[in-house]
């Protein structure tokens, strides 16, 4: 009888282990996947600044008396690890930096310009879901409509107000600098996270060319592309004309460099092309008729209104947001997706 009880207990224990083991494995596997995802996100290290001197010495220590270990050309993107006050009369502040992905050293802060990013990763954001949505002055349908938001409008959530009406909840939002209220029923709320960052640099870029790249980057910054929707440079940007503030800079025409309005914006489209491909999106792009130094021929995305377009479709299951920053011949493209 004792042996029979022991056998029964062992059988029960084995059954419990058999049931729990797959679940334990699944939990461990899911935890491992989550850890891998976290590690991947942490690998998207963001450039903090670009160099402004035509040639900037990287030194082994934060002083001009230390050996120069490298020379950075103008517009080189860098990551800043530490800011050091030395008290030196000429170069009082030095920066410990990372450049070329994994090299480190020290440069004078005087020859560095910080990149200004919008902080998309803090706070809550939302995308409107109806074809048309009223943004109102107060949190009620009886309030004045300030504007109509189209489907997929990107908004920043400022405040939340619970109500006793049909909508239950209203959000105070910021939309392109204007504040108002929208019904919570008609907005998907989430937080953005950075999924990729790429940069291109043209060390010999002129002031007019830099101006054009900055103008194009500012125009495109904050562009949201919904799942299965397409981005088209020609449809989004139109012509890069003098009436829009673009200046003359070198452009390729039949393989020769000539001055044309908007020269340099192809570096912006090319940077977006590289970023889009880095997250697995298929793009439609053409190379220039002449070589450029800031990208390989496979990555180039020349644009010329209205004949030569650059486009891609968001085949991901989530919306993506483009952030463009340009300075001193460098263009940085960040792509964000909703935090899972």
**What domains can you pick out in the chain, each with its CATH number?**
49-114 (2.30.30.40), 124-190 (2.30.30.40), 194-338 (no CATH)
Looking at per-residue pLDDT, the higher value among 33 and 289 belongs to 289
In percent, the amount of the chain with pLDDT more than 90 equals 82
pLDDT of residue 1 exceeding 70, the answer is no
* Average pLDDT over the chain, rounded to an integer: 89
φ, ψ for residue 331 (rounded to 5)? -120, 130
Residues 6+ apart with CB under 8 A from 213: 205, 264, 265, 267, 268, 326, 329, 331
3-state SS, one letter per residue, for the chain:
CHHHHHHHHHHHHHHHHHHHHHHHHHHHHHHHHHHHHHHHHHCCCCCCEEECCCEEEEECCCCCCCCEEEEEECCCEEEEEEEEECCCCCCCEEEEEEECCCEEEEEEHHHEEECCCCCCCCCEEEEECCCEEEEECCCCCCCCEEEEEECCCEEEEEEEEECCCCCCEEEEEEECCEEEEEEHHHEEEECEEEEEEEEEECCCCCHHHHHHHHHHHHHHCCEEECCCCEEEHHHHHCCCCHHHCCCEEEEEECCEEEEEECCCHHHHHHHHHHHHHHCCCCEECCCCCCCCCCCCCCCCCCCECCCECCEEECCCCCCEEEEEEEECCEEEEEEEEECC
Q: Give the pLDDT score at 44.
A: 67
- Please state the rounded mean pLDDT for residues 80-92: 91
Q: What's the average model confidence in pLDDT over 198-204? A: 95
User: Is the pLDDT score of 37 beyond 60?
Assistant: no
Neighbours of 291 (CB within 10 A): 12
Residue 234 has which token pair? Answer: 């020609």
Mean pLDDT across 62-88: 95
pLDDT confidence bin for 309, thresholds 50/70/90: very high
pLDDT band at residue 41, thresholds of 50, 70 and 90?
A: very low
pLDDT at 6: 45
- Comparison of pLDDT for 46 and 40, the residue scoring more: 46
Percent of the chain beyond pLDDT 70?
Answer: 87
Q: Is the peptide bond before 306 cis (omega within 30 degrees of 0)?
A: yes
pLDDT band for 304, please (50, 70, 90 cuts): very high
pLDDT number for residue 283: 98
Higher pLDDT, residue 29 or 134: 134
* pLDDT confidence of residue 30: 33
Give the N- to C-terminal CA distance of the chain in Å, as an integer: 55
Q: Which residues pair with 225 in a beta bridge?
A: 320
Closest C-alpha among 193, 200, 224 to residue 43 = 193
Q: How confident is the model at residue 118 (pLDDT cuts 50, 70, 90)?
A: confident
The CA distance from 124 to 117, in Å, is 17
Which two tokens mark 168?
């239950």
Mean pLDDT of all residues in 225-242: 97
Whether the pLDDT of residue 12 is over 90: the answer is no
For position 219, what pLDDT does the model report? 96
**pLDDT for residue 295 is more than 70:** yes
Lowest average pLDDT, out of 118-132, 170-184, 293-307, goes to 118-132
For residues 236-261, give the mean pLDDT.
Answer: 96
Higher pLDDT, 61 or 101: 61
CA 274 – CA 269 distance, rounded (Å): 9
State whether the Cα torsion 339-40-43-297 is positive or negative: negative
* pLDDT for the residue 35: 38
The pLDDT-based confidence of 340 (bands split at 50, 70, 90) is confident
**Tens digit of each residue's pLDDT (9 = 90 or more) over 324-337:** 999 999 999 999 99
Q: Which of 130, 126, 98, 95 is nearest to 109 (CA)?
A: 95
Q: What is the mean pLDDT of residues 113-122?
A: 90
Span of 42-51, 197-206, 275-284 with lowest mean pLDDT: 42-51
Of 8-12, 175-179, 248-252, the one with minimum mean pLDDT is: 8-12
For residues 89 and 277, the model is more confident at: 277
């Amino acid at each position: 009888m004792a042996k029979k009880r022991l056998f029964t207990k062992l059988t029960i224990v084995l059954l419990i282990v058999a049931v729990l083991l797959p679940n334990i494995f699944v939990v461990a596997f899911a935890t491992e996947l989550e850890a891998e995802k976290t590690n991947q996100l942490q690998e998207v290290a963001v450039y903090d600044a670009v160099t402004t001197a035509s040639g900037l010495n990287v030194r082994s220590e934060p002083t001009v008396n230390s050996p120069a270990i490298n020379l950075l050309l103008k517009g080189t993107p860098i990551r800043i690890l530490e800011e050091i006050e030395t008290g030196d009369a000429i170069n009082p502040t030095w920066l410990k930096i990372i450049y070329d992905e994994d090299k480190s050293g020290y440069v004078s802060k005087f020859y560095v310009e910080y990149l200004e990013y919008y902080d998309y990763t803090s706070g809550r954001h939302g995308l409107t879901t109806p074809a048309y949505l009223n943004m109102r002055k107060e949190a009620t349908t009886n309030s004045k409509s300030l504007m109509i938001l189209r489907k997929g409008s990107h908004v920043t959530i400022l405040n939340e107000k619970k109500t006793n009406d049909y909508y239950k909840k209203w959000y105070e939002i910021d939309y392109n600098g204007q504040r108002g209220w929208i019904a919570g029923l008609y907005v998907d709320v989430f937080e953005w996270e950075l999924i990729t960052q790429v940069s291109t640099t043209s060390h010999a870029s002129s002031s007019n060319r830099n101006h054009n790249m900055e103008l194009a980057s500012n125009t495109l910054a904050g562009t949201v592309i919904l799942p299965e929707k397409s981005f088209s440079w020609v449809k989004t940007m139109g012509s890069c004309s003098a009436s829009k503030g673009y200046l003359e800079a070198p452009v390729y025409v039949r393989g020769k460099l000539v001055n044309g309005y908007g020269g340099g914006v192809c570096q912006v489209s090319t940077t977006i092309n590289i970023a889009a491909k880095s997250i697995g999106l298929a793009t439609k792009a053409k190379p220039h008729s002449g070589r450029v130094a800031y990208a390989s021929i496979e990555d180039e995305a020349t644009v010329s209104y209205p004949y030569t377009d650059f486009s891609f479709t968001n085949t991901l299951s989530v919306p993506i947001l483009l952030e463009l920053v340009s300075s001193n011949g460098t263009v940085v493209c960040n792509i964000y997706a909703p935090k899972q």
